[in-house]
Structure 1
Amino acid sequence: MSIYNKILVVADINHDEQPALARAMQLAAKSKSQSRVTFFLSIYDFSYDMTSMLSIDERDAMRRGVIHQREQWMHKVAQPYVNDSVIFEVKVVWHNRPYEAIIGEVFAGEHDILIKGTRKHDALESVIFTPTDWHLLRKCPTPVLLVKNAEWPLDANIIASVHVGSEVEAHLDLNDIMVDQLLNLTSRLGATPYLVNAYPLTPANITIELPEFDPTTYTDAVRGHHLTSMKALRQKHGIDEEHTIVEQGLPEDVIPKAAEELHAAMVILGTTGRTGLSAVFIGNTAEQVIDKINCDVLALKPRGYISPLDPTHAS
């Protein structure tokens, strides 16, 4: 189980308020050992590299000047969040692909978790995920926490979206990983844990193709299997029955509905791990769920996941 003592935070260059840094300091303050928070920014200006009027040394000097200015700004905006109990450092790099720079720093610094703010659409209060967010969710080897608000609500609820109906070993292992992280975070942040699971609707075409098929019996059997599996999971991790939800429907409908009804401050999702070319995809269900929830999102990879940007596995 990750203890989140080496935290990488992506700076929001467009605002002085830094909700991701606020959340990182909350986690770090609750650690049993000293934590390190790295406040990180990747910057790039195409014009600095393309101008022919400057020598290579002059271009390098200009880049260093821009980096130094950003470092000073980051130290300034970080002041309200930083305290002496946490080792804090600022790092700015020159890179034309932010997500590659961020994941490169995850590997270089051996960070436990990546935290980044998300855009909030003021009119609808919905969260807008940027292309960089999606790249990080798909390719970052560590847990990725996308933060919507700096303020952590009192008596917060955190949901783990588990998949208890599966008998696939990787899914069962990922369930345990999610619940471990859920209990770690609820303990640190003073929140209440909930497990939510969706089980499938009875396919309508079966009743047409098989007249003797009893959809009620089938649905009861499926629900019974999911309830039994959920009971085993919650008992394994010491979670009360009233903190579990098993609902019929698609995960992309059930999870956002549960998050809204519970006023969840965070939803934890497991993302599918694949090998080869398909390793860049997070999994369609997870993406649809993420698009519909209006709170912090923590995305976890399966055990053994290898990022396509892992320098030790580069081709």
Structure 2
Amino acid sequence: MSQYQRLLLILNPAQRHSPALHHAAALAAASEAHLHVTALIPSLNILSVLEEEPREEARHNYFRDQRNWLEEEADKMRRRGLRVTTEVAWVDSMCEQILQHVAQIQPDLLIKQVQHESLLKRAFFTPLDWQLLRKCAVPLFMVGAAGHALPRRVVAAVDPSSAFAQNSGLNDRIIRQALGLALQCNAELHLVHAFEVSSVYLGDAGGGGLSLAQLSKELRRSLEMSFLELANLFGVPAERRHFLLGHPVSALSEFALEHDVDVVVMGRSQHSDPFGLLGSTTEHILYQVQCSVLAV
């Protein structure tokens, strides 16, 4: 059976040249899944300066234009044999509307273009993509600016140092999701862990009279063993296992760039892991990598 049966693509009509549509179409074709494309239009506050009658006419014309454009795009995909349905709607609360669509449609995957926000804006407001990472009930495929529409190289980023990821089975789910995507697209699967020695890790490790260098060496050996156990369990070839040194965000970003990665599959904690880095790493890496991120 296919990895995906039903895909939901959320589009911003203002970004008609977004690669998200091409990624969703390629994935739907590879998996023979039904693709539902929803274009959500934020309320046009700028129209409030107009009188009621011209304001409503402007809203109607804009809505019709977006609907016609989306139907034309859908017809192109249908002529290629894809099963595609479309929807256009006005929204006031973008996150709530997206989550409602997920609850109604029950997709196997939610697909959306990464929406970059400035550091200043992030300091005062939680970005929409971060809200979805924390609240969405299904895996999210966040489309980046680079990478093949049909992935050729998929990376599963796991964290054997996280007790939450180990005990909850999150690492296993990350690998299974990445493996399923790779098989669906006939892509390479790589397994990655980024290891960083910090005072937090060393403090948790317990001294026992060992020096910091010895503690670091012991911790690395332990994590490498756990990492290799995961790799062996899922049959990842030796040449596709990568134990990286450095901060997870920077190390994974550099790896993705150097190895032409199309999709990084990562975990999201949804705030159930108060001591882990999985959730925050996934949120911040959205703004660091050019490839897509599949959050489990």
TM-score range, shorter chain: 0.7 to 0.9
Structure 1 residues 284 and 16, CA gap change in structure 2 (3 angstroms): closer
Structure 1 residues 64 and 105, CA gap change in structure 2 (3 angstroms): farther
Structure 1 residues 131 and 53, CA gap change in structure 2 (3 angstroms): same
Q: Which amino acid aligns with 1:37?
A: L
Task: Report 1:50-89 matches (<5 A).
Answer: 54=52, 66-83=62-79, 85-89=81-85
Q: How much has 1:6 moved relative to structure 2?
A: 1.0
Q: Which moved more, 1:83-92 or 1:40-49?
A: 40-49
Q: 2:268 aligned with 1:274, yes or no?
A: no
Q: How much has 1:199 moved relative to structure 2?
A: 2.5
Q: 2:262 aligned with 1:265, yes or no?
A: yes
SS at match of 2:242: strand
In structure 1, what is the equivalent of residue 281 of structure 2? 285
Whole-angstrom CA distance in 2 between matches of 1:254 and 1:73? 40
1:188-245 deviation line (CA, Å, top 9, x unaligned):
2222111111223153997xxx795323322221111111111111111111122111
In structure 1, what is the equivalent of residue 29 of structure 2? 29
Q: 2:212 aligned with 1:215, yes or no?
A: yes
Whole-angstrom CA distance in 1 between matches of 2:47 and 2:15? 26
> Does the 8 Å CA contact 1:156/1:190 hold for their aligned counterparts?
yes
Whole-angstrom CA distance in 2 between matches of 1:282 and 1:59? 46
Which of 40, 43, 47 is equivalent to 2:41?
A: 43
Q: How much has 1:40 moved relative to structure 2?
A: 0.6
In structure 2, what is the equivalent of residue 13 of structure 1? 13
In structure 2, what is the equivalent of residue 157 of structure 1? 153
Aligned CA RMSD, in angstroms, stands at 3.6
Whole-angstrom CA distance in 1 between matches of 2:78 and 2:237? 36
Which of 129, 133, 151 is equivalent to 1:133?
A: 129
In structure 2, what is the equivalent of residue 4 of structure 1? 4
Q: 2:246 aligned with 1:249, yes or no?
A: yes
Which runs of no fewer than 5 residues in structure 1 stay unpaired?
A: 122-129, 301-315
In structure 2, what is the equivalent of residue 307 of structure 1? none
TM-score by length of 1: 0.75
Q: 2:226 aligned with 1:234, yes or no?
A: no
Structure 1 residues 142 and 166, CA gap change in structure 2 (3 angstroms): same
Which runs of no fewer than 5 residues in structure 2 stay unpaired?
A: 118-125
Which of 159, 162, 166 is equivalent to 1:166?
A: 162
Q: Which moved more, 1:175-184 or 1:288-297?
A: 288-297
Structure 1 residues 256 and 234, CA gap change in structure 2 (3 angstroms): same
Structure 1 residues 282 and 13, CA gap change in structure 2 (3 angstroms): farther
Q: How much has 1:283 moved relative to structure 2?
A: 3.1
Q: How much has 1:271 moved relative to structure 2?
A: 0.9
Q: Which amino acid aligns with 2:152?
A: A
SS at match of 1:283: helix
Whole-angstrom CA distance in 1 between matches of 2:60 and 2:136? 27
SS at match of 2:220: helix
Q: Which amino acid aligns with 1:45?
A: S
Count of residues paired in the alignment: 282
- Sequence identity, in percent? 25
